[in-house]
Amino acid sequence: MPFGHIVIGPPGSGKTTYCNGMYQFLTALGRKAVVVNLDPANESMAYECAVNIEDLITLDDAMAAYQLGPNGGMVYCIEYLEKNIQWLTDQLSKHEDSYFIFDCPGQVELYTHNESIKNIVRLLEKQGFRLACVHLVDASYCTEASRFISVLLLSLTTMTMLEMPHVNVLSKIDLLNQLGELDFSLEYYTSVMDLEYLLRHLNENETSERFYKLNSTICELIEDFSLVGFSTLCINDKHSVAALLKEIDKANGYIFGALTEGNESILLAADSTDLLAEAREAQVRYGLMTKPPDENSSAASNQKLDAVVRKLSIKEHDPETVSIELADSERQ
């Protein structure tokens, strides 16, 4: 029963860097891992590739043969891979005792409109693969309300399209302090709390205010599904990588596998991750600053939001159950 995860995300989100870093981390843990490149436009692979889609088809060949542009050529390559799935399964069978990391293309339409990636995953699952999806987005999107809402919508669309265990990740979190102060604390963005606060910031812009009803409806849609949340990642920080790996292992079921060398995370199966605590630690560790509240603007609501956050304490019961209870001080 092979385990693994597919790595997706917009261009520039750090997918290839992640694959290289995660491969090195798993190898250091003693877990045998291989990286599978499914991106025919990936010209700078920092990792050793066990299976490469370019051995089947290249983007340049597809563009030249059918006079396609880069995006059209990419879609054709993935659809061609779907039709030749036997080639992929034959290549993967050579590494059946390994943990698989699939480096996927960055074109978002492959995960929001086109069904080839979804179909490929389904075919692999029929072969016994246990996979999760790791969706990377650049943490810089947290610096603007409009950009963060667009990321939320993209993440939600991808989750509902692929229909598989999903871990959304704010990557490059260590670089976020170079972009200025955040409107809210990091845990607000990772937990995707009441978007009304974010909507107020969005509508401070005159252009955005014209689309108030549209913005409000999008926020309501995201909240109604209540599916999107984020983990954080600094690929150069082993603590950050280890915390993310634990989430991925829970998503694809690896922690419930046999207790073998490299499956050390099964020992942590009863240790559910406190995502709010992880966000707080990341904010301190990487020196992320939050804008001070301004009584003359909607930013004054930050204090009220922080008070809501402090009311919540995460109480761990078992690997699959996390209940949120009011802190003792609030009960009194």
DSSP states along 113-162: T--HHHHHHHHHHHTT-EEEEEEEEEGGGGGSHHHHHHHHHHHHHHHHHH
Angle, CA of 123, 101 and 222, to the nearest 5°? 75
Place of tokens 């995300």: 9
In contact, 138 and 172? CB cutoff 8 Å: yes
Question: For position 180, what pLDDT does the model report?
Answer: 83
Query: By CB neighbour count within 10 A (0-12 exposed, 13-18 middle, 19+ buried), where does 323 fall?
Result: exposed
Beta-strand ranges (E) seen in the chain are 3-8, 33-37, 49-52, 99-103, 130-138, 166-171, 231-232, 312-318, 321-326
Question: For position 229, what pLDDT does the model report?
Answer: 94
3-state secondary structure of 291: coil
Question: For position 208, what pLDDT does the model report?
Answer: 60
Domains of the chain, residue spans: 3-297
In contact, 95 and 23? CB cutoff 8 Å: no
In contact, 229 and 190? CB cutoff 8 Å: yes
Question: For position 179, what pLDDT does the model report?
Answer: 86
Query: By CB neighbour count within 10 A (0-12 exposed, 13-18 middle, 19+ buried), where does 61 fall?
Result: middle
State the 10-residue block means of pLDDT for the chain, 332 residues long.
94 93 95 96 86 95 94 96 97 94 95 95 95 96 91 96 96 90 90 86 67 87 94 94 94 76 49 62 70 51 50 39 35 40
Question: For position 158, what pLDDT does the model report?
Answer: 97
Q: Which amino acid appears at position 276 of this protein?
A: L
Minimal CA–CA distance to 274: which of 326, 222, 312? 312
Q: Which amino acid appears at position 192 of this protein?
A: V
- CATH code for the domain defined by 3-297: 3.40.50.300
Minimal CA–CA distance to 244: which of 22, 11, 2? 22
